Structure 1
């Protein structure tokens, strides 16, 4: 049923972000005309406004934490009166069960919420035609270049850093920009090298399929870094190939929507079972089940999960659904291998590649050591720090850019 708005309260001061407000006859709605890229009429429920009251009694501005307890709310809350003063909507709520409450809703707060919702439309990641490159000394010594590095990781999902020292503390200094490493069973800064009888194929000389790392974790790492500290001239092969999964999935959605849907429905388990003590990793037994593609409430990709090395057998009683899964799985695998978005790079000493492990797949060509060494220091950073540092550092530097909707960090 349509709600009529009869009482209108105009601002007593000049407010550029708003023109008027109106309370519905029932007091259950407040209509606000915001001037955000043109006049926008937004309608808010009385209960929502009461729940998000920004007065000192209801909200702690220093900690950005709400103090309103759900037990203070009631479905019969109505707006008794509302007006505007000093860029703030002042509201008097009334409830038969809880009495009255006088509180505030700042106009800028409403405007920021609206702009955040609108920014989602422009938050799709950008696809890099080549790997962006920065100098190590610039990123370490300059906040502006640190921001550019984090921006590249947020927008494009990958960035190469050149001319880094060949020392063991380099990644620790670089990750300090986020500011925390994500610990794993391999330690904080493991050395990746080829060894005899490895318990992980990453420590062999064989090729690796396109994959994401550590999908058997409840929260897989977000940013992954490889720092090449040694590659002897006698080493042949071992190039790394990176693939932005985002455009591949969008192609799949257009070309074969039935396969795309299957890959969002069928749960797949990823595991790591390793009981032998060694100098590479601690013993572990991990397993978690997720679809290859996970969507958010808007139908956008929120997460992807692809690692055929650690994938367990798909167990389905419905064999027709299993047949459909394998059709989709094989179609996706062929798209990955033949994609035009491959970015190949042979990492040399002093180079660091950082990429979004939630968004990018990576693979490795097999290699021959021929008596030499190919050694990388590696580490991981939680995905939440990428978006957080982009916003925090950007604000400190005076930039006003919106983050891209990277996987598992949706707006």
Structure 2
């Protein structure tokens, strides 16, 4: 089969300095297209190029989505010939289809590890930084201003990026307004509704169906572990703070605890990552009954073995434990070690009246010391959730992450 292969002279620009570079295009092993010069080599699978053809019949530029019907995709399609000019790589396929690719577009999609890592670190999700007791005070002192977040996109971006990296942020100078949490979430996207409503009020009440609505000590926990799609971020606005010594916050980085267990207590860590636990919530809110169940380990890992979620709430751990009976005693030993580290590493602080505490609900565990609740001494906190998908989307938009 005849294949036409041409090279081209292109002008590249780096830091404002232009230079000439001879770019050669060739077919390799009938399966790849290679573009190279003295400085770099880009290699693209032919099937990927055909799948990502940018012509009008294959790709819809308005919706930025592929139109190719893979049910009827031509079988064993091959590269017939390639041709390059000053701006594009042109390909003729064995089924007579033609594709044209802009070199800058190809460069952004280079398959090299360096290029892929650069793209993912910049546009996928900020890489988190775990912290312990010693590192918390620096995070707490780097607070954000409500008015800056509401009126300035750069401040909004900085806040969301810090929340993604450290898992916790503090917002000061909030108005005495019951809608503060909602207004902050509206700046990002939209609120996440749960069985407890859109916004929820954390205050002591005699008819409480959840332990958060008591003035007792609140054990360390993550919210709603009985949801498969657990809300990612919790915003708590301390509209009224108790004047007593109680009502203080406890907070710990669950990813730090998990990593410490992995290094120092590997057998316990293995049990907590592999043993599926039943989490449940059976109650009613505003007269509406619900029965939530989700099954997942205390420490959930992603495909690369990194911690992606921590599930922990003693009140919400079901009495049904659907595992091999023989591993239960060892699992309790592992859980005891986990709880020991959680409380050892937990930071204690008390938010001022008006403050907003934001934290990653699938990473951090939080709790509260007990307090006296009277007619003249109340604690009134307004909470709301938002999902990480919405936050990451907004963050990419703020970073101008349209990656065409």
User: In the alignment, does 2:211 pair up with 1:205?
Assistant: no
Residues 165 and 101 of structure 1: is their aligned pair in 2 closer, same or farther, counting only changes over 3 Å?
Answer: same
CA distance in 1, matches of 2:283, 2:311: 21
Equivalent residues of 2:278, 2:322 under 8 A apart: no
Q: How far did 1:117 drift?
A: 3.4
Match of 1:14 among 11, 27, 43: 11
Partner of 1:24: 28
Distance in 2 (alpha carbons) for counterparts of 1:246 and 1:34? 44
Note the C-alpha offset of 1:183.
Answer: 0.9
Are the aligned partners of 2:278 and 2:321 in contact in 1 as well (CA < 8 Å)? no
Aligned counterpart, 1:262: 271
- Aligned mate of 2:256, from 247, 261, 267: 247
Shifted more, 42-51 versus 238-247: the winner is 42-51
**For residue 111 of structure 1, what is the aligned residue in structure 2?**
107
Is the alpha carbon distance of 1:254 and 1:373 closer, same or farther for their aligned partners in structure 2, counting shifts above 3 Å? Answer: same
Residue deviations 1:79-111 (CA, integer Å, cap 9, x gap): 2222333443322222xxxx2321134333343
| Cα displacement (A) at 1:302 | 2.6
Measure how far apart 1:127 and its partner are: 3.5
- In the TM superposition, residue 172 of structure 1 has moved relative to its aligned partner by 2.0
Does residue 182 in structure 1 map to residue 187 in structure 2? no
Check conservation: 1:269, 1:287, Cα contact below 8 A. Answer: yes
Task: Tell whether the 8 Å contact from 1:54 to 1:106 is kept in structure 2 after alignment.
Answer: no
CA distance in structure 2 between the partners assigned to 1:196 and 1:321 by the alignment: 39
> For the residues of structure 2 that align with 1:302 and 1:316, how far apart are their CA atoms?
23
TM-superposed deviation, 1:34: 8.9
Relative to the length of structure 1, the TM-score reads 0.83
Distance of aligned partners of 1:81 and 1:251 in 2 relative to their CA distance in 1, 3 Å threshold: farther
Q: For residue 82 of structure 2, give the secondary structure of its aligned residue in structure 1.
A: strand
> Any conservation in 2 of the 1:223–1:380 contact (CA below 8 Å)?
yes
Q: Is the 8 A contact 1:262 1:328 kept in 2?
A: yes
| Match in the other structure for 1:287 | 293
Deviates more, 1:168-177 or 1:120-129: 120-129
Distance in 1, Cα, partners of 2:321 & 2:308: 24
- Larger mean CA deviation between 297-306 and 58-67 belongs to 297-306
Q: Deviations over 1:89-140 (max 9, x none)?
A: 322222xxxx232113433334334434345579531235232301212222
1:126 aligns with 2:129: yes
For residues 68-217 of structure 1, what are the structure 2 equivalents within 5 Å?
Answer: 68-94=68-94, 99-114=95-110, 115-118=115-118, 120=120, 123-127=126-130, 129=135, 130=137, 131=140, 132-217=142-227
Aligned residue number for residue 369 of structure 1: 373
Partner of 2:397: 392
Deviations 1:242-278 (A, max 9, x none): 2122222222222233333332222112111114745
Q: Take 2:208 and 2:37, find their aligned partners in 1: how far apart are those partners?
A: 62
Say if 1:15 and 1:87, in contact at 8 Å, map to a contact too. no
The answer to whether 1:378 aligns with 2:377 is: no
What is the alpha-carbon distance in structure 2 between the residues aligned to residue 256 and residue 355 of structure 1?
Answer: 27
SS at match of 1:11: strand
| 1:142/1:326 CA distance change after superposition, 3 Å | same
Q: Which ranges of structure 1 fall in alignment gaps of 5 or more residues?
A: 1-5, 401-411
Task: Report the counterpart of residue 407 of structure 1 in structure 2.
Answer: none
Taking only aligned residues, the RMSD between alpha carbons, in angstroms, comes to 2.8
- 2:355 is aligned, of 345, 351, 356, to 351
CA distance 1:276–1:384, shift in 2 (3 Å): closer
Gaps of 5+ in 2: 15-20
Q: Contact 1:248–1:335 at 8 Å: present in 2 too?
A: yes
Report the CA distance shift for 1:34/1:182 in structure 2 as closer, same or farther (over 3 A): farther
The answer to whether structure 1 residue 318 and structure 2 residue 314 are counterparts is no
The Cα shift of 1:317 comes to 5.2
Q: By how many angstroms is 1:221 displaced?
A: 0.7
